[in-house]
Every structure is written in C-alpha cells, then in structure tokens.
Structure 1
Amino acid sequence: MSQADANPFEPKLTPGRARMIPWLTVVGGSACTTLPLIATVPILPPLGLVMLLAWRLLARFALRPWAAAPLGLFDDLVSGQPLGSAVLIWSAIFLAIDLIESRLVFRDFWQDWLIAGGAILFALAIGRVLALPIGAQVDGAMMAQAAATMLLFPIATRLVAWIDRKRGMV
C-alpha cells in the first residue's frame, strides 16, 4: 500500500504542476553550474544531463521526446557551452535511448546505468570536441568528470524516484 493510498483525501498536485516538476528539476540541475565553486580540477558533473537521463530512463513519459531541445538550450545558456551544442547532444541521446528501448523488451537498473554511462561519455566527448581545440590537454580532467558523473547517476535516480512518487503521477 502506497502513501497515496493511505490518505485518499489528501490534495494532489494539479496535472500542470505535476508535469512541470521534471522540467524544473532538469533546469535546476543545469543552473547548478552557475554556483561559485572553486576547484583545482574542474570535475563538476553536468547535473542537468544527469537529471534528464534519470527522468528519461526512470519515468519514460515524464518528459516528451522533444523536451531535450529546449532543456538543452537552457543548459547552453547557463553553462557557457557553444550555443546549440547541448540541444544537439541531448536530442541525439534521446533518439539513441528510444532506439535502445525499441530493441530491449525489459530493462533493469544496471542496464539503465550502462545506458546513462554511455550517454554521459558521449555528451562529454562531443562537448569537448565542440568547445575546445583538439590540442588542449583536458583528457584526464574529462575522464574524472565522466567518472564522477556516472557515480552520481544512482543518486539522481533515487531523487527522481522520490520526486515522482511525491508528485502522484505513478
């Protein structure tokens, strides 16, 4: 018995507000790049991408397939990446996940983590190619950032599952 079943008269979120929550969490994750953090090695994970992947892989219908483009545009605006790079990368990731889902009948958490890890590596590698000159020596920092981001994915999925349960759209 879920908590929603325990109190059926508790007011629920309106459908518009419930649909807005995934968007706000991805925007909030992208906005974390604007926090003034001082680090010797730039390994701040792309939290907007992690939240987007968590919503897409855990709650498939929470975000529409076209949602990657406007959310990627917001990420480009706040992160300082070349304009349109996250739009292209996040849309390509959504298309790849759709292709993988059409091939797999069932998925478990380990497969979701593997899909998210591949998407994170793809996004960071293509973002490096688009934003930096080829001769730049950032590969070590990029691999540390990729590892930190992949290790953050299970925490993001727990957060998304908790938010999804609270918003009442299960």
Structure 2
Amino acid sequence: MVRAALAGKTLNRGPVHGAAYVPAASVVAASLLVALPIVSLSGWWPSFGLLMFIAWRMLRADAWPVWWSAPLGLVNDLLTGAPIGMSMALWTAIMLVMDLVDRRTQWRDYWIEWAVASLLIAGSAWVEAEVSGLSGAPVRTAMAVPAALIEILTFPLAAYLAVRIDRWRLGR
C-alpha cells in the first residue's frame, strides 16, 4: 500500500460543515476590518470587503448566487458607513460584469484576472467618489486615485486569502 494512504490524514476529509456560507462569511469578516482603530484623513484604507468579494467571484463563479451581492453589499454599507445602497448597486454591477467576462473569455490567467480586478476596483472607486461628490462631500475624483492604487496592489493578497480559505473549506 502507498504510505500516504496509510497516514490517514487525507482520508475521510470532506467539506467543513456550512461550507456554502464560508465565502460570504469571509466577505463580511473582511468588511469588518474597517472597525480597526486606524484614522485616515485622506481615505487611503482599502475596501477589504470589495477585494474579498471580487477575489471569491474570480476564484469560484459558483460560490454564491448572483442575488447574494445585494445582501453582502448592504452589510458592507452598514459596516463601513457608506450611503445605503452604494455597495449593493456596485457589487451587483460587478457580479453582472464578471458574468459577462466569464462568458466572453475562454481562459484567464493570473495577469488577466488582476487586470479585470483592477478595472473593477478603479471603476468602483470612481463611482464612489462621484456619488460622494454629488451628495455634498468635499471629495474630488483625484482623491480616489491613491485609494484605488492601494486596493489594486492589495488584490493579490485578497486572492491568496480566498484560495487558502477555499482549500480549508473544501478539506483539501
């Protein structure tokens, strides 16, 4: 017999209980990172909930149904203090765009995923800045550029975390 089969570490391991809810719970946990006591006047703190949301969607298209983007966006809005409906609309639009990208591409590698995520992150940062400006906040679109760059550079970390959590949740 193969020695690895005798070890027993990989036998009878399956998905953890509640494995279907782990992606959503990790997005909510990432959204909770805004509760850390870090003060910033310029708004450079990345939206970890959005990063984890995009990372999970790129990793597994079947991680959750499309309609889950609205409740997850609502939770993100409530936790981050954004206008109610901002993340709901943006995250739903991101899910629809990702569905279109999935249908149009035959394959994606790491660089294409990072480029698509960069476009989605930059677009959401621009929309958030424009909506904040329309609501009377003294926010210029140029102020969103550093935050978007930090989010784009942080995306590989979110993708790595999503992969590690997915391996744990599926018992691999």
**What TM-score, normalized by structure 1, do the two folds share?**
0.88
Query: Which ranges of structure 2 fall in alignment gaps of 5 or more residues?
Result: none
TM-score (norm 2): 0.87
Shift of 1:10: 4.2
Specify the alignment match of 1:7 in structure 2: 10
Which residue number in structure 1 is paired with residue 132 of structure 2?
Answer: 131
Which residue matches 2:114?
Answer: 113
In structure 1, stretches of 5+ residues that fail to align are: none
Q: Does 1:59 align with 2:31?
A: no
Query: In the alignment, is the contact (CA less than 8 A) between 2:70 and 2:88 conserved in 1?
Result: yes
Rg bigger for which structure? 2
Q: What aligned pairs does 1:24-63 form with structure 2 within 5 A after superposition? A: 24-63=25-64
1:25/1:51 contact within 8 Å kept: yes
Q: Which moved more, 1:117-126 or 1:38-47?
A: 38-47
Structure 1 position 50, deviation (Å): 0.1
The whole-number CA distance in structure 2 between the counterparts of 1:122 and 1:72 is 16
Residues 108 and 11 of structure 1, relative CA distance in 2, 3 Å threshold = closer
Aligned length: 165
The alignment-based identity, stated in percent, is 30
Number of the residue aligned with 1:148: 150
* Residue of structure 1 equivalent to 2:160: 158
- The whole-number CA distance in structure 2 between the counterparts of 1:75 and 1:98 is 21
Contact 2:42–2:143 (8 Å) recurs in 1: yes
The Cα of 1:108 is off from its aligned counterpart by 0.8
| 1:74 correspondence with 2:75 | yes
Does the Cα contact within 8 Å between 2:16 and 2:171 map onto a contact in 1? no
Indicate the RMSD between aligned Cα atoms, in angstroms.
2.1
